[in-house]
């Protein structure tokens, strides 16, 4: 079965710092990868997704992620964070075709200090 691990459960950064959140998945075959964000009091929303093609994907609000197949990784990055980026971030994967739904990581709680 697919599993997804996120390295950091809590991250605290100052505004303008660079961000990288780690994500590793276990499935060795075709995989689709996602990052979701949940802002305080709001719904889960999709930040970005990778299905195929260019391994560097760009999402909303200046976020990007890089798919490295050899490392089974899909790390999320942002060059300069803002206070409004404070949220819970979830990495998710499916084994292609969605047969088992999305498998989520446990999430990373990001706090940006002004």
Partner 1 sequence: KAGVTQTPRYLIKTRGQQVTLSCSPISGHRSVSWYQQTPGQGLQFLFEYFSETQRNKGNFPGRFSGRQFSNSRSEMNVSTLELGDSALYLCASSLGPGLYNEQFFGPGTRLTVL
Shortest Cβ distance from residue 62 to partner 1 (Å)? 19
Residue 76 or 81: the one with the smaller Cβ distance to partner 1 is 76
Count CB atoms within 10 A of the CB of residue 88.
Answer: 15
Q: Identify residues 25-64 at the interface with partner 1 (CB under 8 A).
A: 32, 36, 43-46, 49, 51
Q: 71 φ, ψ to 5°?
A: -105, 0
4 SS3 class: strand
User: Which of 52, 70 has the CB closer to partner 1?
Assistant: 52
Please report the sign of the dihedral spanned by the C-alpha atoms of residue 98, residue 88, residue 77, residue 23: negative
The site for partner 1 (CB under 8 A) is made up of 1, 32, 36, 43-46, 49, 51, 90, 92, 94, 97-107
């Amino acid at each position: 079965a697919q599993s997804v691990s996120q390295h950091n459960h809590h991250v605290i950064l100052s505004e303008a710092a660079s961000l990288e959140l780690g994500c590793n998945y276990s499935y060795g075959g075709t995989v689709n990868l996602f990052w979701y964000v949940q802002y305080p009091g709001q719904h889960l929303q999709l930040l970005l997704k990778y299905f195929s093609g260019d391994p560097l994907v760009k999402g909303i609000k200046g976020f990007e992620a890089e798919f490295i197949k050899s490392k089974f990784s899909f790390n999320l990055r942002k060059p300069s964070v803002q206070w409004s980026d404070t949220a819970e971030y979830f990495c998710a994967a499916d084994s292609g075709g969605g047969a088992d739904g999305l498998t989520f990581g446990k999430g990373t709680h990001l706090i940006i200090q002004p």
